[in-house]
Amino acid sequence: MPTPMTFDSLKADVAAGIIDTVLVCFTDMQGRLMGKRFHAANFAEHGYQETHCCNYLLATDQEMATPDGYAATSWAQGYGDYVMRPDLTTLRPVPWLAGTAMVLCDVLDHHTHAPVPHDPRAVLKAQIARAEAKGLTPMMASELEFFLFEKSYDDIRKGGFRDLQPISGYNQDYHILQTTKEEAIMRPIRNHLYAAGIPVENTKGEAETGQEELNIRYADALACADHHTIAKHAIKEIAWMHGHAATFLPKWRADKVGSSSHLHQSLWQGGDAAFHDPSRDYGISELMGQFLAGQLKYAADLTFFLAPYVNSYKRFMKGTFAPTKAVWSVDNRTAGFRVCGDGTPAVRVECRIGGSDLNPYLAQAALLAAGLAGIEENLPLQPPTQGDIYDAATAPEIPRTLRAATETLRGSAMLRAALGDDVVDHYTRCAEWEQEAFDAVVTDWEIARGFERA
């Protein structure tokens, strides 16, 4: 497995003319990489210490608008700077771009150099620190589902995002013949990410036309989120380089299955799996039971961080492998929380609620906050729900709209205690703005339905 480059090896590659560009990046609220392209010599001499960016980048939307209502930054405050401090442990080559390396940054206050609390990486780091204070190490893995399309991003945009044609014509779940046809894109994705130090396990066809899945080996929680973010970025760039488009929009068509991002979670204590106890039912330790019970109790509170847009909620439909109920079950893909690897040291919690559009830092942080709350509250784990959970009439529902998820986020005493009022208020405003932007739009559906018949 290739390892991310050291600063010394970067400097040697710069001196040898192998690397001439360094992408200096951080992750915004939407989970996208933002930053600058440094001439590699300048980065090696000076830029490795810090650089600056406008603070609106952590208070904007997908369109890069500047909504009002954020306490952290505004027109009235003049939109000042943040400091981007490279985390040199994340240095890595970017094999799909010639002569290029990448580093991820932590975002700091320009005046105090303290972490910006609502920086997604800082939000996750704070919850990891809470776990580590209890002697626990969070380990995570994420699955990236996405669709590939025949045309490029530019052609699709110029065509008004109409007549979208997936790269395949039929359900390709685990289908080797169909995915062979897509190897011109998927093989470079696997190999380039592996060469960049991302521990790729495999890719496969998913359960819809043109749908793919990338699986990356589990890692400590921060590395998992870093891997997820870099992989998502790489998939888009590599698809574009081959004349195609990849989308992580969870529900691109009403009659198509949506794309998820399942998050696998476990806690370790020293070198031991703290979730495993062979003497208990399903091999689930008391600690794991408390952790899972916390996520069940607070599932509604954290749903925004798993489903951050209006479109995210179109995915929650019966019979689509996307859950609708916040219950747990053993190896049952109709549950919001699935216990995998039961009876073995690999026993873990898979949260199936999250869509392909989630920000992995925020999603993992919110899940950790809820799980740690379950441990602190010594919550008992109720028996698993069995059978077709879509039909479990008494099971608690996952919030079905962004508006509902926003209100549970706003009122969550647990998340306010764990993340801080400022962070919760910041992301509540983010959720409100998404709803406001959608509510202001007249959709094609409304025009077609009511133009003549209203």
Q: Label the pairing between strands 245-247 and 200-205.
A: unpaired
Q: How confident is the model at residue 199 (pLDDT cuts 50, 70, 90)?
A: very high
Is the pLDDT higher at 136 or at 331? 136
CATH code assigned to 128-442: 3.30.590.10
Percent of the chain with pLDDT over 90: 87
- Separation between Cα atoms, residue 32 and residue 219, nearest integer Å: 21
What is the pTM assigned to this prediction?
0.96
Q: Which amino acid is located at 95 in the chain? A: P
For position 74, what pLDDT does the model report? 83
**Among the four given CATH numbers 3.50.80.10, 3.10.20.70, 1.20.1280.50, 3.30.565.10, the one describing domain 7-116:** 3.10.20.70
For position 4, what pLDDT does the model report? 76
For position 394, what pLDDT does the model report? 87
Q: pLDDT of 380-436, one tens digit each?
A: 999 999 888 898 888 889 999 999 999 999 999 999 999 999 999 999 999 999 999
CA angle 438, 336, 212 (to 5 degrees): 70
Phi, psi dihedrals of residue 448, rounded to the nearest 5°? -65, -35
Domain boundaries, the chain: 7-116, 128-442
Residues in the chain: 454
Q: How confident is the model at residue 1 (pLDDT cuts 50, 70, 90)?
A: low
Q: Which two tokens stand for residue 9?
A: 């090896």
Among residues 441, 247, 233, the alpha carbon closest in space to that of 356 is found at 247
Q: How confident is the model at residue 249 (pLDDT cuts 50, 70, 90)?
A: very high
Q: pLDDT of 329-368, one tens digit each?
A: 998 888 999 999 999 999 999 999 999 999 999 999 999 9
- Separation between Cα atoms, residue 400 and residue 402, nearest integer Å: 7
pLDDT surpassing 80 at residue 67? yes
Distance of CA 78 to the CA centre of its chain: 30
Q: What is the rounded end-to-end Cα distance, in angstroms, of the chain?
A: 62
For position 333, what pLDDT does the model report? 87
Q: Which two tokens stand for residue 419?
A: 């993340």
Among residues 280, 276, 297, 299, the alpha carbon closest in space to that of 379 is found at 297
Q: pLDDT of 172-197, one tens digit each?
A: 888 888 888 899 999 999 999 999 99
pLDDT surpassing 70 at residue 3? no
Q: pLDDT of 36-56, one tens digit each?
A: 999 999 999 999 999 999 999
Using CA atoms of 12, 17, 18, 23 in order, give the dihedral in degrees to the nearest 10: 90
For position 430, what pLDDT does the model report? 97
pLDDT surpassing 80 at residue 2? no
Alpha helices in 386-420 (DSSP H): 402-410, 413-419
Question: Which are the contacts of 7, defined by CB distance < 8 A and separation ≥ 6?
Answer: 44, 48, 88, 91
Residues 309-330 have a mean pLDDT of: 92
Q: pLDDT of 89-121, one tens digit each?
A: 999 999 999 999 999 999 999 999 999 999 999
Residues 54-66 have a mean pLDDT of: 93
CA distance readout (Å), 277 to 140, 293, 338: 19, 17, 18
Q: How confident is the model at residue 61 (pLDDT cuts 50, 70, 90)?
A: very high
Alpha helices in 242-359 (DSSP H): 286-297, 299-306
